[in-house]
């Protein structure tokens, strides 16, 4: 249950009788609100070991999404970070895409996924595959009537990749899940998928260099490498449920956020728990983290470059206490992104789109 799935929960609430189409569904992996849907999957579901190794079937994703039969629907709401926005829409139906990002692994982050760390065969095969996917991705964007981006950073990427404008509606943080802790502990926290582009290694190396305690929540293909480079002050917990993660947020010293993220829900989750953020000053963090020096109360520190040295410097600055962070002010900032705010905005936007379409 990451950011995209939490948005999907809200969509399910707005359309309680709607069907859910997806490339792949691992039963029991998401919340009851999603699981109780009528869920229709693509042929990817039936391929060998698809639940664990679905990434290996990337070249088949376009055919899988285009094969889904959506005849009979008047509104298609796609929730897309890869190929969902390319689904075939019935004639006369309205297609609104809530876009987390254009397919990042063939556009901006190709090297992070298929560069030097990838296997030799992957590096040989992927250039023409990625080029074909980019052409297909741009061409099928024409089937979307309205794009909604999760941030201005992503709206700009949609403009560059697809030549399309996008409304911006920020994803929700469920503020009610989190509580304020009067006496937090001394550990830093990372909550992230351990994927190459997340650059969790910067936090691991910075904490190791400084001898600071770091707790890492998450799993992914980078886990083995990160464990091998971590010092004795770094602890890997794997995935934890919502209640456990909320407790870790409440008791942490600060959240470390070293990634260029499309939006980034974890900084807002930390703020909802009254904890500040030390974040890379690029990407979506610029739209959620309030640095010191402005009129609004600060919610975190930003470091300029994606390097260990810059993160270490920011951590040391944070530890001086020269910037004061007020837990209640952090929570108030998170509340401006709260779940009811998202639900109201996305419902109003869809209602307006349907009204225009019927004129």
| pLDDT tens per residue, range 73-100 | 999 999 999 899 999 999 999 999 999 9
Cβ–Cβ under 8 Å, residues 277 and 258: no
pLDDT at 239 over 70: yes
Residue 272 tokens read as 């909802």
Q: Which three-class secondary structure state does DSSP give residue 253?
A: coil
pTM equals 0.89
Dist CA 6 CA 287 (whole Å) = 19
Q: Are residues 138 and 185 in the same domain?
A: no
Residue 116 pLDDT grade (very low, low, confident, very high; cuts 50, 70, 90): low
Q: Are residues 209 and 262 in the same domain?
A: yes
Residue 126 pLDDT grade (very low, low, confident, very high; cuts 50, 70, 90): confident
Q: Are residues 117 and 214 in the same domain?
A: no
CA 216 to chain centre: 17
Integer CA distances (angstroms), 9 to 122, 275, 344, in order: 35, 26, 14
pLDDT at 264 over 70: yes
Number of domains in the chain: 2
Whole-number pLDDT of residue 292: 96
Cβ–Cβ under 8 Å, residues 84 and 78: yes
Whole-number pLDDT of residue 359: 67
**Angle between helix 3-14 and helix 339-358 axes, rounded to 10 deg:** 60
In the chain, pLDDT over 90 holds for what percent of residues?
Answer: 82
Q: Are residues 345 and 323 in the same domain?
A: no
Q: Are residues 151 and 246 in the same domain?
A: no
Whole-number pLDDT of residue 66: 96
Q: Are residues 75 and 168 in the same domain?
A: yes
Which DSSP letter does residue 240 get? -
Q: Are residues 141 and 203 in the same domain?
A: no
Q: Are residues 159 and 24 in the same domain?
A: yes
Residue 357 pLDDT grade (very low, low, confident, very high; cuts 50, 70, 90): confident
Dist CA 322 CA 306 (whole Å) = 23
pLDDT at 358 over 90: no
Q: Are residues 143 and 108 in the same domain?
A: yes
Q: What is the pLDDT of residues 25-42, one digit of tens each?
A: 999 888 899 999 999 999
Whole-number pLDDT of residue 117: 67
Whole-number pLDDT of residue 164: 96
Q: Are residues 326 and 211 in the same domain?
A: yes
Dist CA 179 CA 265 (whole Å) = 16
The residue-averaged pLDDT of 223-233 equals 97
- CATH, residue 81: 3.40.50
- CATH, residue 191: 3.40.50.2000
Q: Are residues 318 and 348 in the same domain?
A: no
Domain that holds residue 93: 3-172+339-358
Q: Helix count (H) and strand count (E) of the chain?
A: 14, 12
The residue-averaged pLDDT of 314-324 equals 96
Q: Are residues 153 and 190 in the same domain?
A: no
Dist CA 268 CA 336 (whole Å) = 10
């Amino acid at each position: 249950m990451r950011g995209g799935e939490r948005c999907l929960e809200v969509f399910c609430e707005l359309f309680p009788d709607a069907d859910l189409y997806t490339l792949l569904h691992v039963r029991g992996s998401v919340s009851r609100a999603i699981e109780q849907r009528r869920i229709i999957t693509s042929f990817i579901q039936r391929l060998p070991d698809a639940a664990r190794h679905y990434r290996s079937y990337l070249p088949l994703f376009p055919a899988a999404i285009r094969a889904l039969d959506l005849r009979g629907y008047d509104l298609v709401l796609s929730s897309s970070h890869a190929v969902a926005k390319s689904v075939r829409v019935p004639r006369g139906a309205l297609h609104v895409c809530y876009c987390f990002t254009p397919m990042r692994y063939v556009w901006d982050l190709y090297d992070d996924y298929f560069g030097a760390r990838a296997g030799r065969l992957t590096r040989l095969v992927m250039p023409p595959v990625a080029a074909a996917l980019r052409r297909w991705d741009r061409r099928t964007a024409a089937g979307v009537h309205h794009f909604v981006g999760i941030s201005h950073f992503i709206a700009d990427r949609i403009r560059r990749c697809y030549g399309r404008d996008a409304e911006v509606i920020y994803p929700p943080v469920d503020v009610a899940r989190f509580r304020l802790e009067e006496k937090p502990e001394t550990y830093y926290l990372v909550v992230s998928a351990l994927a190459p582009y997340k650059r969790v290694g910067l936090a691991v190396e910075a904490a190791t260099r400084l001898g600071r305690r770091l707790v890492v929540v998450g799993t992914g293909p980078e886990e083995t490498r990160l464990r091998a480079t971590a010092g004795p002050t770094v602890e890997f917990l794997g995935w934890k449920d919502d209640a456990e993660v909320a407790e870790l947020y409440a008791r942490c010293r600060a959240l470390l956020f070293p990634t260029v993220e499309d939006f980034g829900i974890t900084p807002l989750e930390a703020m909802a728990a009254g904890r500040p953020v030390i974040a890379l000053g690029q990407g979506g963090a610029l739209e959620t983290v309030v640095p010191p020096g402005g009129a609004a109360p600060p919610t975190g520190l930003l470091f300029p470059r994606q390097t260990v040295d810059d993160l270490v410097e920011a951590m040391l600055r944070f530890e001086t206490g020269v910037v004061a962070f007020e837990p209640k002010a952090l929570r108030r900032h998170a509340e401006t992104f709260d779940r009811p705010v998202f639900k109201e905005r996305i419902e109003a936007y869809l209602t307006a789109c349907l009204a225009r379409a019927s004129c």
